[in-house]
Structure 1
Amino acid sequence: MYSDLMSATTSERLIEATRALLWERGYVGTSPKAIQQAAGAGQGSMYHHFAGKPDLALAAIRRTADEMRAAAETVLGGEGSAHARIEAYLLRERDVLRGCPVGRLTMDPEVIADDELRAPVDETLDWLRGRLAGIVQEGLDSGEFTGPLRAEEIASTVVATVQGGYVLARASGSPAPFDTAVRGLLALLAPLSPSPRTP
């Protein structure tokens, strides 16, 4: 029982250390030695739990992707109109200057070149576009949104605004460009929604 707990704890520490390093340094900059040091685990422990760096990185990326989905679903699956839920998603609290832990992986050539590592990234962004498109379609079907809108196009615009906002914020060293981009998109969407905004 005790050994199982210790085993799980070491595995968790390795995954969490890898997640943090991938976000900060990218795949190439995340060496097995750096992972072991950050996790407080030896080389033997790491290779006892994972076949190697790619195996550990995949577990870390999958967990990060799952967390991103859960955080998005918390607001997208909440109460309120379609516009209110999209607004809640766009305005939710983020560590803007660190960027998106999933989106940043799309700029990592090692991740993109590996089908297995890329899969959870692609699946998560695809899920997000699909989830947003479903909400926009709800708004269209109920008459909340009007005009010649395509749900998929609006959903892609929302995702592109968030991801592009991260890039602008990191480039300037300030969250202001992210906030400006998000509020600009909300201003464009607001006239489409005749229903009152959720305060």
Structure 2
Amino acid sequence: MSTPERLIESTRELLWERGYVGTSPRAIQQRAGVGQGSMYHHFAGKPDLALAAVRRTAEELRATAEVLLAGPGTSLERISAYLLRERDVLRGCPIGRLAQDPDVMADPALRRPVEETFDWLRGRIAGVLAEGRERGELSPGLDAATTASAVVAVLQGGYVLARAAGDSAPFRQAVEGVLALLAAHATDRP
């Protein structure tokens, strides 16, 4: 892994673990195994490096979601595949954690990729739901946009509940609950 890659990956991990304030340039350098000169050779400073890390995290979340949401199956099967995928639930969602970090949210540049990722995810799920409605898989009265927002909110809330309990069970219950609500809108047609 190149020096810039090690710096970005180290920053991503530290942001997820400690938040923006707790992610010092020294901690980044130590985790990446590079000196101060190497860090500042590749990045203007902590804000520049943090932005690269946040963007990378956002890109990876989108890519992972897209594989499952664009996969085979009905709209409900694809959304189920996304919601039920393997996750480190107790660590939380890396993008969701960034959205809870006041320092990230106070910086428009750092906030933008977080906001864009949630907008994209809601839009992508809404598209899958609308497709299912058009195919006759879901009831015609299902509002794709509001339902997609609810799905994302349940997912993020599930992470919070699981972290608060120190147990992944509340996350699984939240996901199972939203999937049951979606299944209630399924029609008899495949």
SS of residue paired to 2:94:
coil
Partner of 1:113: 106
2:135 is aligned, of 138, 142, 146, to 142
Partners of 2:142 and 2:185 within 8 A in 1: no
Partner of 1:51: 44
How far off its partner does 1:148 sit?
Answer: 2.3
Structure 2 CA distance for aligned equivalents of residues 195 and 26 of structure 1? 47
Partner of 1:103: 96
2:148 is aligned, of 131, 151, 155, to 155
Deviation per CA, 1:30-89, whole angstroms, max 9, x where unpaired?
A: 000000000000001100000000000000000000000001011001001111111111
Structure 2 CA distance for aligned equivalents of residues 82 and 174 of structure 1? 29
How far off its partner does 1:196 sit?
Answer: 8.0
Unaligned 5+ segments in structure 2 are: none
Structure 1 runs (4+) deviating above 2 angstroms are 194-197
Query: What is the TM-score when the length of structure 1 is the normalising length?
Result: 0.93
Query: What is the TM-score when the length of structure 2 is the normalising length?
Result: 0.97
Partner of 1:4: none
Partner of 2:186: 193
What is the CA RMSD across the aligned residues, in angstroms?
Answer: 1.3
Q: How many residues align?
A: 190
Partners of 2:92 and 2:163 within 8 A in 1: yes
SS of residue paired to 2:139:
coil
> Relative to 1, partners in 2 of residues 1:195 and 1:47: Cα closer, same or farther, differing over 3 Å?
farther
SS of residue paired to 1:51:
coil
The letter of the residue matching 1:61 is: V
Partner of 1:17: 10
> Relative to 1, partners in 2 of residues 1:32 and 1:193: Cα closer, same or farther, differing over 3 Å?
same
How far off its partner does 1:193 sit?
Answer: 1.1
Structure 1 CA distance for aligned equivalents of residues 189 and 38 of structure 2? 56
- Among all aligned residue pairs of Structure 1 and Structure 2, give the percentage whose two residues are the same amino acid: 67
SS of residue paired to 1:92:
coil
The letter of the residue matching 2:186 is: S
Unaligned 5+ segments in structure 1 are: 1-7
Structure 1 CA distance for aligned equivalents of residues 181 and 140 of structure 2? 13
